[in-house]
Structure 1
Amino acid sequence: MSLNLDKLVDKDFRGKSINEILAAPPSALLGLSPNHDEALAALKIKSVGDLGKWQHAVHAQALVTLAHAEVAETAADA
């Protein structure tokens, strides 16, 4: 199987495998810089993999995924 990840990563990481990208610093992701690497390192996030497994990021992604399924409570339900 082949995936094109070029729109997700910085030009230096185009053509790399998923495992190579996961081991790379967060700045491998398009839009992040070495300054972000420093800030994230303070949170013990030193790789793309660490960022993807970071508890708070996982929780935020779960909320984003579930948001479309939430039904607003109506006055009749209260």
Structure 2
Amino acid sequence: MASIDLDKVLDKAWADKSPPEILAAPVGALKGVSDRDGELLQEAFGVKAVAGLAELKYVRRAQALAALGAAK
């Protein structure tokens, strides 16, 4: 399994939390995602937490397309 530097992907307040806590955290816990971005994600897609963003079908589709592009 790949290692992730949590300090690079999470706001400081969340970097020392457990994976279940991070997945339940609001998307604003991700570095670079503002509270307003989180509100917009909730309004547009019903995403409230990091896990919801990861499970969003549009994110998964975009990742699959990116993987196809990287394979060429």
Bin of the TM-score, shorter chain as denominator length: 0.7 to 0.9
Distance 2:64 2:10 in 1: 22
Residues 6 and 65 (structure 1), Cα distance of their counterparts in 2 relative to 1, 3 Å cut:
same
Distance 1:49 1:31 in 2: 17
- Gaps in structure 2 of 5+ consecutive residues: none
Identity over aligned residues, as a percent? 42
Distance 1:7 1:56 in 2: 24
Q: How much has 1:3 moved relative to structure 2?
A: 5.8
Q: How does 1:30-45 map to 2 (within 5 A)?
A: 30-42=31-43, 43-45=45-47
Taking structure 2 as the reference length, the TM-score comes to: 0.86
For the aligned residue pairs, the C-alpha RMSD in angstroms reads 1.5
Taking structure 1 as the reference length, the TM-score comes to: 0.80
Report how many residues are paired.
69
Misfit runs of 4+, over 6 Å: none
Deviation track 1:8-60 (CA, whole Å, cap 9, x = no partner) reads 10111011111111100000000001101110111200000000000000000
- Gaps in structure 1 of 5+ consecutive residues: 71-78
Structure showing the higher helix proportion among its residues: 2
